[in-house]
Chains A and B, each alone.
Chain A
Amino acid sequence: MRKILLALPVAALALGTVAYASDAKDVLDAREAYFKSLGKSMKAMMGVAKSFDAEAAKAEAATLEKILATDAGPLFAPGTSSTDFPGETEAKASIWANMDDFGAKGKAMHEAGAEVITAANAGDAAAFGAALQKMGGTCKACHDDYREEDE
């Protein structure tokens, strides 16, 4: 009896996954695109920080501002963890069990990102480098807890 009771929700979940699979895949694709653009932006800014150029910094800050304006909430729709789609995503299921903490880590990144943008627009090389380093730390902080190690 217990087995059946347990099996029911599992079956429902499995059906649900099938029904929403194409939606979920869209989420996975959008999420990947979002983080890839974030990575690209960070890399470009790293280059700018090494030999600071005010114009380039401003241009990169504008790109970052656009990326950060994305509402990341829908990118983490329920049912899109690596448990639901093994091998297709590195988003740990623990994200959805710790949404508050996950959100706080995202907020930390946004706040550091705002500092990066301010420093870039002010043409302040030292502040830009420091803010970028700080923002970089927020990437690792979240990945350490919520992203699967790549195989």
Chain B
Amino acid sequence: MTDMTDSPATSRPMIWDPLVRVFHWALFLCVVSAWLLGEFGPDIMTLHFWIGYAVGGLLLIRLLWGFVGTRTARFANFVTGPGAVLRYAMTLPARKPSHTPGHNPLGGWSVVAMIGVLGLQVVTGLFSASVDDFVFGPFSDLVSEDVNKLMLDLHKSLAPVILALVALHVGAIWFYKIWKREDLVTPMITGRRRG
């Protein structure tokens, strides 16, 4: 089967719509800032909270877009079964671009993982509180102090998980660039493959 989009003669199709691209880079900025502020930020954590809300808002918009958005943005079009994931994984060692017009089956699940973990991070943050550190999430009053502590423990444990996911994500992009000679960054900026 020949992939029409591979042909330099055809005009390059839009892979990522503008909402997906703005979401992607805004999320990147907000997550990095939230992490830095959480780890090294001022002792009064107001700024960390606001950036955290921004992450939450972005995730909600993306969730909605995953149902009503453009073709490559819809979950139904990139969340696949284990068979498809396995079949795609077998093609990974091949030194040629995959040129999937959207998320490939593995990448699709990494999107789900990223949104899931970030969502958990926001939710645990909202219910976290530490009297000792005098930091109180906005919903911390709604639950007991034990739950506040549990949420904060989860929040602190999830932070390195997020870093690991980001590292995996960036590592995968390097892998595609160097091993598979496929540029995944340009489409996330211009919306189209470089051709």
CB within 8 Å of B: which residues of A? 35, 39, 42-43, 46, 133-141, 143-144, 149
Docked-complex contact A43 and B133, CB < 8 angstroms: no
- CA of A90 to CA of B44, assembled, Å: 22
23 A-B Cβ contacts within 8 A? A35-B132, A39-B131, A39-B132, A42-B131, A42-B134, A43-B131, A46-B131, A46-B136, A133-B44, A133-B134, A134-B44, A136-B43, A136-B44, A136-B133, A137-B42, A137-B44, A137-B134, A139-B133, A140-B43, A140-B133, A140-B134, A140-B135, A143-B132
Give every chain B residue within 8 A of A141 (Cβ-Cβ): 43
A39 CB contacts on chain B under 8 angstroms? 131-132
With a cutoff of 8 Å between Cβ atoms, the chain B residues found around residue A143 in the complex are 132-133
A149 to B130, CA, bound (A): 12
Beyond A137-B43, A140-B134, A140-B135, 6 extra complex contacts between A and B, CB < 8 Å: A133-B134, A134-B44, A136-B134, A137-B44, A137-B134, A144-B43
B40 to chain A, nearest CB (A): 9
B131 proximity list for chain A (CB < 8 A): 39, 42-43, 46
Q: How far is the CA of A46 from the CA of B131 in the complex (A)?
A: 9
CB of B152 to closest CB in A, whole Å: 10
Cβ distance B116 to chain A, nearest Cβ, rounded Å: 25
- Give the Cβ gap from B57 to chain A, nearest Cβ, in Å: 25
B43 — which chain A residues lie within 8 A by C-beta? 136-138, 140-141, 144
Residues of B within 8 A of A42 (CB): 131, 134
Which of B's residues lie within 8 Å of A, judged by CB? 42-44, 131-136, 156
Nearest 7 interchain pairs by C-beta: A136-B134, A137-B43, A140-B133, A140-B43, A137-B44, A141-B43, A43-B131
Our count of residue pairs bridging A and B at CB distance below 8 angstroms stands at 35
Bound CA span A136–B132, Å: 8
Asked if A139 and B44 sit within 8 Å, CB to CB, the answer is no
The main secondary structure of chain A at its interface with chain B is helix
Report the minimum CB–CB distance from A84 to chain B (whole Å): 22
Complex CA gap A70/B131 in Å reads: 20
Nearest B-chain residue to A137, judged by Cβ: B43
Instruction: List residues of chain A with CB within 8 A of the CB of B44.
Output: 133-134, 136-137
Q: Which residues of B contact A138 (CB under 8 A)?
A: 43
Looking at the complex, which one of B134, B136, B156 makes contact with A135 (CB distance below 8 Å)?
A: B134
Chain A residues with CB under 8 A of B156: 149
**Which one of A35, A39, A140 has the highest number of Cβ atoms from chain B below 10 Å of its Cβ?**
A140
In whole angstroms, what is the CA distance A68 to B119 when docked? Answer: 41
Contacting residues, chain A, for B136 (C-beta < 8 A): 46
- Give Cα A42–Cα B130 distance, bound, in whole angstroms: 11
C-alpha gap A120/B89 in the complex (Å): 65
Shortest distance in angstroms between A42's beta carbon and chain B's nearest beta carbon?
6
A77 to B98, CA, bound (A): 65
Residues of chain B lying within 8 A (CB to CB) of residue A136: 43-44, 133-135
* C-alpha spacing A137/B133, complex, angstroms: 7
* A138 to B132 CA separation, bound complex (whole angstroms): 10
| Complex Cα gap A137–B131 (Å) | 11
Nearest chain-A residue to B44 (Cβ)? A137
* Bound CA span A143–B133, Å: 7
